[in-house]
Every structure is written in structure tokens, then in C-alpha cells.
């Protein structure tokens, strides 16, 4: 009985959010871009017109044609197919990285807010040390220690972004802890784990969701930027950053080629950030300006 009531309340809330977002053109734009990326990533072999790794030196640097809709690159590979396949590392990096930073951030933030004392100071100190470096430089140095690979890029991005979540979760937990309904639950005999899972986490969920939408855009940006510098994902893997780097060498002779990966990155970032913005307006969480 109680469970079904709870379910209806959740349904009501999400129905309200969906209703607000339905009126917002930004939600449609962002949602369709994210869908497009996800579909290309999952069904890449079905959609791509050609093998993204098949080279053909007789057809180097050709412009758009019926056979190769976006033309061919310096090794004669089909650009459109490479672009579609490159959605895979982008999705893996953004979702993988965000999952790592959200999970670590929530755990550390809750620990800091609940245990307090020396542990809280230590956790906040770790956040401050990570935040003392410009993110891109921290990522760069860490990558040179571990060595570039898809997994190391995901983990390093996740750890670099993590303090944002830790700080938000800690701040919101501290303020939620003082709310009357939490006091009421406690006086009814609810233990800490029940209060955290039933009362605090659902209330900070909105802020975390909005922040992660914005950060997924940044992660795609950093991954492509690192690959562009030759420090992230390595060729021949097709990633937008790798494509950017490859076509940058031909910028004088074939300037059109660099446009496609650039547009893909911009569109993806635009999709994630507009969707997150629309979500923010609909959920209206008390997002902290300073993070």
C-alpha cells in the first residue's frame, strides 16, 4: 500500500517535469541530438555505409560524392562511417566518466556531511587539491603517467570532475539534514541509511542530474581535445578528436574535411547542454552558482 503511494508520487513529479519540458524547444533539440548519438553508437555497423577502417589509397582526400557522402580522408576511408563509429568512444567516455564521478562524489560528499570532523576536513582537502590544477593540465599529466587508452581517459576524466559532485552533495546534504521532514523521520525511529536513501538522495538527485548533463558535454570536449593533441585516444580508432587531429594536417589542402568532426563535437555538446538547461528549468533545483 505504502509502496504504491510512493510510486504514484514519483510518477506525478516526473509527469510535471515532462509537462514543462514538452513546452521547451531546447528539450526537443537536446533530446533528439542525444538520441541520434546513442542510436549511432549502438547501431553503428547497421547505419554506417562502409567499413570505417578500410583504407583505399587510390581515393585519398576526395570531396563529397554519392559513394562517399562526406568524402574520404587521407587514407581513403569513408568519413561518414568514421563519424558514426566515433559516437561509440564519445558515449563511453561521457557516460563512463560521469558514472565514476557521480558515484565517488556521492559517497565522499555523504561521508563528509554525515561523519564530519577530521574525515570531512580530509575529504574537502582532497577536493581542494584536485581543484588546484587547471583540469586540462591535471588530465594531461595523469595521462602521461598512466598512458593513453580508452579506460584511462574515462577514469581520469571521472576523477578530475568528481569534486564538483562531492561538494554539491555535501552542501545539499548538510542543508537537507536540518529540514523538518528529516527530523520527523528521525524522531519516528528511522536510521541513517533509511534517511539517506529515502529522504536525502531523492532530494539531491535533481542537482546531480542537471550537473551531470553539463559535465557530459565537457567530458566529450576534453576527450576530443586530448585526442586532438595526440595524448588521448590513439589512431586508428575512430574518435572525433582523432579525426580532428588527422584532418588538421591537411587543413591547407582539404579544409572541408575538418568541418565534419568539428560539427559532430559541437552538436553533441550543444545537445547535452541544452537538454541539461531545459531539465534545470523544469526541476528547478537550488543549483549552487559557485560550482
What residues from 164 to 183 belong to the interface with another protein (CB under 8 A)? 171
Residue 141 binding another protein, by CB under 8 A = yes
Site string for another protein, 48-87 (x = CB under 8 A): ----------------------------------------
Residue from 90, 154, 258, 283 in contact with another protein (CB under 8 A): 258
b/e 196-234 (16+ beta carbons within 10 angstroms → b): beebbbebbebbbebbbbbbbbbbbbbbbbbbbeebbbe
Q: Mark the segment that binds another protein (CB under 8 A) among 57-65, 78-86, 144-152, 156-164.
A: 144-152
**92 contacts 150 by C-beta, under 8 angstroms:** yes
What is the three-class DSSP state of 72?
A: strand
**240 contacts 234 by C-beta, under 8 angstroms:** no
What residues from 204 to 223 belong to the interface with another protein (CB under 8 A)? 217, 221
Residue 290 binding another protein, by CB under 8 A = yes
Q: In this structure, what C-alpha cell is assigned to residue 111? A: 561521508
Which of 48/243 has CB closer to another protein? 243
**216 contacts 272 by C-beta, under 8 angstroms:** yes
CB of 240 to another protein, least distance (A): 10
Separation of alpha carbons 228 and 240, rounded Å:
9
DSSP designation for 58:
G
Q: Mark the segment that binds another protein (CB under 8 A) among 76-84, 90-98, 109-117, 133-141.
A: 133-141
Residue from 48, 153, 265, 282 in contact with another protein (CB under 8 A): 265
Whole-angstrom CA distances from 242 to 51, 77, 227 are 17, 14, 5
CB of 285 to another protein, least distance (A): 16
Among 104, 110, 88, smallest CA distance to 160 is for: 104
CB of 291 to another protein, least distance (A): 10
Which of 165/260 has CB closer to another protein? 260
CB of 56 to another protein, least distance (A): 25
Separation of alpha carbons 265 and 272, rounded Å:
11
Q: Which residue has the cell 594536417?
A: 249
Among 6, 86, 18, smallest CA distance to 278 is for: 18
DSSP designation for 78:
B
Q: CA neighbours within 13 Å on the CB side: how many for 120?
A: 13
Q: How many residues bind another protein (CB under 8 A)?
A: 43
Separation of alpha carbons 168 and 108, rounded Å:
11
Site string for another protein, 217-256 (x = CB under 8 A): x---x--xx--xx-x------------x---x--xx--x-
CB of 148 to another protein, least distance (A): 12
What residues from 102 to 131 belong to the interface with another protein (CB under 8 A)? 125, 128-129, 131
Among 128, 224, 113, 244, smallest CA distance to 172 is for: 113
Which of 134/189 has CB closer to another protein? 134
Q: Which residues of the shown chain bind another protein in the complex (CB under 8 A)?
A: 25-26, 125, 128-129, 131-137, 140-141, 144-145, 147, 171, 217, 221, 224-225, 228-229, 231, 244, 248, 251-252, 255, 258-259, 262, 265-266, 269-270, 272-274, 277, 289-290
Amino acid at each position: 500500500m505504502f509502496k504504491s503511494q510512493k510510486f504514484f508520487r514519483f510518477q506525478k513529479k516526473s509527469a510535471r517535469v515532462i509537462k514543462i519540458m514538452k513546452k521547451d524547444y531546447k528539450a526537443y533539440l537536446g533530446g533528439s541530438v542525444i538520441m541520434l548519438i546513442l542510436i549511432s553508437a549502438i547501431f553503428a555497423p547497421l547505419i554506417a555505409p562502409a567499413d570505417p577502417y578500410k583504407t583505399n589509397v587510390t581515393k585519398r582526400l576526395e570531396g563529397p560524392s554519392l559513394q562517399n557522402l562526406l568524402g574520404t580522408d587521407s587514407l581513403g576511408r569513408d568519413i561518414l562511417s568514421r563519424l558514426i563509429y566515433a559516437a561509440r568512444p564519445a558515449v563511453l567516455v561521457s557516460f563512463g566518466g560521469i558514472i565514476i564521478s557521480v558515484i565517488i562524489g556521492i559517497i565522499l560528499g555523504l561521508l563528509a556531511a554525515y561523519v564530519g570532523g577530521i574525515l570531512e576536513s580530509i575529504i574537502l582537502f582532497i577536493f581542494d587539491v584536485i581543484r588546484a590544477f587547471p583540469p586540462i593540465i591535471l588530465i594531461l599529466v595523469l595521462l602521461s603517467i598512466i598512458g593513453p587508452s580508452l579506460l584511462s581517459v574515462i577514469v581520469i576524466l571521472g576523477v578530475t570532475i568528481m569534486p564538483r559532485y562531492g561538494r554539491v552533495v555535501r552542501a545539499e546534504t548538510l542543508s537537507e539534514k536540518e529540514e523538518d521532514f528529516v527530523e520527523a523521520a528521525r524522531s519516528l525511529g528511522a536510521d541513517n541509511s533509511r534517511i539517506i536513501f529515502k529522504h536525502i538522495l531523492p532530494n539531491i538527485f535533481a542537482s546531480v542530474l542537471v550537473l551531470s548533463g553539463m559535465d557530459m558535454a565537457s567530458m566529450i570536449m576534453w576527450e576530443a581535445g586530448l585526442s586532438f593533441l595526440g595524448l588521448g585516444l590513439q589512431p586508428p580508432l575512430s574518435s572525433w578528436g582523432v579525426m580532428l587531429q588527422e584532418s588538421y594536417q591537411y587543413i591547407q589542402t582539404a579544409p572541408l574535411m575538418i568541418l565534419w568532426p568539428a560539427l559532430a563535437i559541437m552538436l553533441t555538446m550543444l545537445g547535452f547542454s541544452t537538454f541539461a538547461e531545459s531539465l534545470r528549468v523544469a526541476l528547478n533545483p537550488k543549483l549552487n552558482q559557485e560550482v
